[in-house]
Amino acid sequence: MSDIPDLLLGLLILVGLYMVSTSRLQACVRASALQGIVLGILPIALEWTHGIVPLSLHVITLSGGAIAIKAVAIPRLLLRSIREAGVRREVEPMVSLHGSILLAAALVGLAFWLGRQMTLPFPVGSDLLVPSAISNVLLGFLLVVGRRKAITQVVGYLALENGVFVFGLTLAQAQPVLVELTVLLDVLVGVFVMGIAIHHISRTFDHLDTDAMGSLPE
């Protein structure tokens, strides 16, 4: 049972690397949904690792909220935006896919190095918790700055926030559940606003390349 958090956190990193390596927008969004499922299961696995049975209402609510928002609501919104915009691939990323893969591997290595340098004041359920959190933050940032399509940039923002969510699990027992749910709702609202922006960009420019924003009049 103690290996389950490690497996989930390792899967989280692998999915993040896949998101960086793929040019297919739908695959990228579905990978983000898979991360949402993993994030929903992770608090339960960590609580089991600590020997807390039955599960607390705090963790059950947090897990359910993460799955509902990150694995269902947000991916459905993004997939709908993809269908309406009629795009399938990231054709000309700012950083090539091969370059992105190499850079992503380097960032994951950096995350593990930083994880070893950080000493938490209390034990956590897995040694991979901090490296996985940092990895997702860095990979999400890479997607935001290295891609041109607005949808991929939104997915990058979600991956970045997922890393923040994982790091917040180190304080899961101390944080009020209402604060955590507020963060999840903030993410949902943020992506909803981004979806509206994506819709207007596609209607104005017939594509989702954010470089076209530079042609807007001042």
- Does residue 125 lie within any of the structural domains? yes
Which domain covers residue 197, as residue numbers? Answer: 4-212
What whole-number distance in Å separates Cα of residue 63 and Cα of residue 61? 6
Query: What is the predicted pLDDT for the residue at 92?
Result: 64
Lowest mean pLDDT among 32-36, 57-61, 82-86, 176-180: 176-180
Q: What is the mean pLDDT of residues 28-39?
A: 92
Exposed e or buried b for every residue in 42-65, given b needs 16+ CB within 10 A?
A: bbbbbbbbeeeeeeeebbeebbeb
What whole-number distance in Å separates Cα of residue 178 and Cα of residue 206? 41
57 versus 128: the higher-pLDDT residue is 128
Average pLDDT, the chain: 77
Q: What is the mean pLDDT of residues 74-101?
A: 78
- Amino acid letter at 171? L
Query: What is the predicted pLDDT for the residue at 202?
Result: 56
- Does residue 129 lie within any of the structural domains? yes
- Does residue 218 lie within any of the structural domains? no
Band of pLDDT at residue 45, cut at 50, 70 and 90: confident
Query: What is the predicted pLDDT for the residue at 111?
Result: 94
Percent with pLDDT over 90 in the chain: 22
What backbone torsions phi and psi does residue 67 show, to the nearest 5 degrees? Answer: -65, -45
- Does residue 135 lie within any of the structural domains? yes
- Does residue 192 lie within any of the structural domains? yes
Query: What is the predicted pLDDT for the residue at 188?
Result: 63
Query: What is the predicted pLDDT for the residue at 200?
Result: 52
> Structural domain tally of the chain?
1
- Does residue 167 lie within any of the structural domains? yes
- Does residue 174 lie within any of the structural domains? yes
Query: What is the predicted pLDDT for the residue at 205?
Result: 46
- Does residue 217 lie within any of the structural domains? no
What backbone torsions phi and psi does residue 14 show, to the nearest 5 degrees? Answer: -60, -40
